[in-house]
A = this chain, B = another copy of it.
């Protein structure tokens, strides 16, 4: 299914939560798709079933999946629903970083150039009319 990194500082159950959400966002788990069973995933990842249970429990509390005794666990949301739900937190984290960078006297132009670069990376033939050639110098 997906992998867990034992060296990652995040607790295992949070890694599982993140992986499941990732699978949904990537469109690999659609709404009402059945998740691997608690025991199956536990065996697969060589992890205790209780840890999987905890992860699934958290996901259910957050409305990302729903579990039914004797039947299994299923995806409760579409990818777009999950995106919409994540947006506010992510945006606030973005703002916080901008504010801190502003305090450290990074210029507005540098940040905007950074945004531009990320949005236009991996594009074919994008070197021709690059309108922010100065942005690569400093950051």
Contacts and interface: CB of A to CB of B under 8 A. Distances in A.
Query: Main SS of the interface on chain A?
Result: helix
A11 to B, nearest CB: 7
A-B pairs with lowest CB-CB distance, top 4:
A94-B97, A108-B119, A83-B104, A98-B118
Contact of A114 (B98, B104, B116): B98
Interface residues of A, number: 41
Interface stretch (A36-44, A64-72, A123-131): A64-72
Interface string A1-33: 000001101010000000000000100000010
A101 interface: yes
Contacts of A74: 7
